[in-house]
Structure 1
C-alpha cells in the first residue's frame, strides 16, 4: 500500500544521501591529499574495457550506441586501479544519464606525446549552459532534473583522477560534452 511505497522512497532517499555523504567525504579527502591511493602499473585500455563490460547491461538498455577506439596493445600507466575504475564508472553513468536518446557515445584512448589520453564524448540531451564548471560539486548539466543526479559524479571523477596523478578536463562545444582524462605513460626499463 501507500505506506510501504512511502517507506521504500524514504529508504532510497536515505541510501542516496549516504552515497552523497561518502562522495563529499572522499572529494574533501582528495582535495586535502588525504585520499588513500595505491598506485600500480595498469593497462589503461584493459581498465576501460573492464568498466564497459561491467556496465554492459545498462549500456544495452540505454539505446545509445557506444563507439570505441581502444588500442589492442597495452597502454601502461601508474594509477590506483580501483579509483580509476570508479572515475570511468561515473563518466559512463553520466553519459548514460545525460545523452540525447539514440545518440552515439565515443570513447577513445590514444597515446599522445608520452601521455595516455582517454576521451569520452557524448551529445547532451539538453543544450549545455555556457561558462559552467561541470566538475564543481553539485553542478548538474540540467538544473530541472530531480531523478537523483547528485551532481557529484564529475566532481568525484576529477578528484580521483588528480589524486592518482592524472589530469581531468571537460570541454563543451554547443551540445557536445567531452571529458578528457590523461596520465603519463609508464616507461619501463626492459627486463634483462
Structure 2
C-alpha cells in the first residue's frame, strides 16, 4: 500500500526529478518511483536506539501489522542490531497482529492527527471509538465546576464537544485540544526529568499518579 492518491505531489515530484535527472536513472518511470517511495514511506518501520543511528526497514511481522491504539504487540528496540516484535496480550490463532504506529500515551487529538498525517487514515479502533478510551480515561478531563468526568460526546468526530457527566457543562473541541496539548507537555517533561507529576486535570494521569 502506498496511499498515492493521498500523498502530496510536490515532494514526490522532487524525488522523481532527483532520481531521473540528477542521478540519471531515467529507466525508472515517474509512476514506478512514486509507487516505490510510497510503499517505503508507509510500510517501513523506524528503528531508534540511544547512541546509535536511526534507520528504517521492512520487518517480516511488524511491517505487515495493522495499527490499533489498543495493540496486541509491541516493538522491542533495545538491541541496536535487531527489532523484536513481542506479543503484549494473548494472540489467538488467526487473530490479526496489530501494533501502535504512534505513542500510546498520546491523547485522542494528537494521536488521531498523527495517524492521519503519517498514514492517511482517521483511526476508528476500539480505543478511539470509546469515550473513556476503554476505561483508561487517558483523554478524560476533570470538570472545573463539579469535578465530574468530561468526555467527548462523539469520539470519532474531531470536532465533537466534550460534556461533563455530572453538571453537563460543555467544552468545545478546540478547548479540549488545547488542554490536551498542555497536559502532554507536562507528561513529557515528567518523563524527561523522571520526577513526579504534581497536578493534572487529565483524569487518566490523576488516576495513575494519585
Instruction: Assess same fold via TM > 0.5.
Output: no
Asked which structure has the greater RCO (Cα within 8 Å, sep 6+), the reply is 1
Shorter-chain TM-score: which interval?
Answer: under 0.3
Higher helix share: 1
TM-score computed with the length of structure 2 as normaliser: 0.19
**The structure with more radius of gyration:** 2
Higher strand share: 1
